Amino acid sequence: MEKTALLNDSNQKRFLFRVGLSWLFDAMDVGIISFIVTALAAEWHLKAQQIGLLTAINSIGMAAGAAVAGLLADQYGRKAVLLYTLLIFSAASGLSALAGSFVILCILRFITGFGLGGELPVASTLVSETMPTEERGRAVVLLESFWAAGWIFAALISYFVIPHFGWRIAFVIGAIPAVYALYLRQAIQDSPRYVDQDARKPPIGERVALIWSAEYRKSTVMLWILWFTVVFSYYGVFLWLPTVMVLKGFGLVKSFQYVLIMTLAQLPGYFTAAYFIERFGRKFVLVTYLLFTAASAIWFGSAQTVTSLLTAGICLSFFNLGAWGAMYAYTPELYPTSIRSTGVGLAASFGRVGGVIGPFLVGMLVGREMPLLSIFMIFFVAILIGAFAVLVLGMETKGSNPE
């Protein structure tokens, strides 16, 4: 039984906005790197494999950060871990502006990724535990919508800043969240469910064992498959999107402009998912949006005209990011409070392995001059596997109230 009153409507909106801004900054940093590598490739004469390695390094850091932060958040609280991860990624992002070599930039991007990967599952757990049951799924999807806003900011910064002032200034802008973390320290509280736990906090080894116990094993297997396939396809596609546009024959500025248009489609994708998730349930939204994502990937890979390319890219953004929102809403609902952050963090961490493989694989295949349609066919199959796992192994959590 919860002892602490959940937030009233006005406080719910204020709380969601404050945590959402940290999510926005996270997305802005991830988005900026996808544009920066395109500029770096020209300035530092990077090969396709090096571009893939740089984006993969970021995801390796995110995998480590998600696992560590998830474990620590069940032990020390969601708020404290959220603030520390925010500080880590913003400081490392700012320092990336000073990188003088490819190796140094890779090291700094690993540290940035560690903070980024740690912040996301902890923030979604915090929001999921703080909102009332009937608003929980919608609130987490709306939290995820700040990701789209962050990518839009990244696209705007890249379009207006990088061509005129260089990529280093874009990294400096990525240090802004450090200032915001100081404000957030006073502006939010830890989740009522975490604060009100009556039971002792299990040690790390016991928590990891619990998520693989008979009671939660099927959900854990499903989530790990889902996270891996979604993150693999998302980072494989979207971190390469500006470069893919260049490969299709567009100039740097025009490519950034088209990617900005595609990115704008993420917002209605989130908003429709936020509506449907409380109306039709988590499984319906995940399976439906993933199937449409798979179809859009094939369409984008085979598109030849500007109109077809833009329309396919818009659909890809719309459905893929709607599925992301549903995934973040769904994951915390499958575990009890005592192991929730551990379960979410480890699922996200395993997913980030896909985020490592995806962009690196694209870099390798582009370097071997494999046709783009063949590359996007890989993502098509991966997304279908994720949708099938949810359909067969997933349980519906709409209206549930796990302790």
Please report the DSSP string for 228-254 in residue order.
HHHHHHHHHHHSSHHHHHHHTT--HHH
Tokens found for residue 380 = 């098509």
The Cβ of residue 253 has, within 10 Å, a number of other Cβ atoms equal to: 12
Question: For the purposes of burial, counting CB atoms within 10 Å of the CB of 31, is it exposed (0-12), middle (13-18) or buried (19 or more)?
Answer: buried
Domain extent listing, the chain: 9-185+203-393
Q: What is the mean pLDDT of residues 366-378?
A: 86
Q: Which of the listed ranges 55-59, 173-177, 229-233, 236-240 does the model predict with the highest average pLDDT? A: 229-233
Angle at 298 between CA 391 and CA 27, to 5 degrees: 75
Inter-residue long-range contacts of 102-107, CB under 8 Å, 24+ positions, other chains counted: 102/44, 102/46, 102/50, 102/54, 105/54, 106/53, 106/54, 106/57
pLDDT at position 151 is 80
pLDDT reported for residue 401: 67
Q: Which pLDDT tens digit goes with each residue over 94-108?
A: 999 999 899 999 999
Q: What mean pLDDT value characterizes the chain?
A: 87
Q: What is the pLDDT of residues 155-206, one digit of tens each?
A: 788 878 888 888 899 899 888 888 888 888 888 888 888 877 656 678 889 9
Which pLDDT score, from 0 to 100, does residue 381 have? 96
Question: What's the pLDDT at 244?
Answer: 73
pTM: 0.84
For the CA atoms of the chain, what is the radius of gyration?
Answer: 20
Q: How far apart are CA 344 and CA 328, in angstroms?
A: 9
Model pLDDT, residue 254: 67
Alpha-carbon span 120 to 370, nearest angstrom: 34
Residue with the bigger pLDDT between 247 and 203: it is 203
pLDDT of residue 180: 87
pLDDT band at 322 (very low <50, low <70, confident <90, very high): very high
> Would you tell me which CATH number, out of the four given (1.20.1250.20, 3.60.40.10, 3.40.50.2300, 3.20.20.100), belongs to the domain 9-185+203-393?
1.20.1250.20
Q: SS3 letters for 119-150?
A: HHHHHHHHHHHHCCHHHHHHHHHHHHHHHHHH
Nearest to 108 by CA among 172, 44, 42: 172
Nearest residue to 32 via CA among 83, 84, 93: 93
Contact 63, 349 (CB under 8 A): yes
CB–CB of 150/94 below 8 Å?
no
Give the residue-averaged pLDDT of 256-266. 79
CA 247, distance to chain mean position in Å, is: 25
- Classify residue 305 by its DSSP letter: S
What is residue 100's DSSP assignment? Answer: -
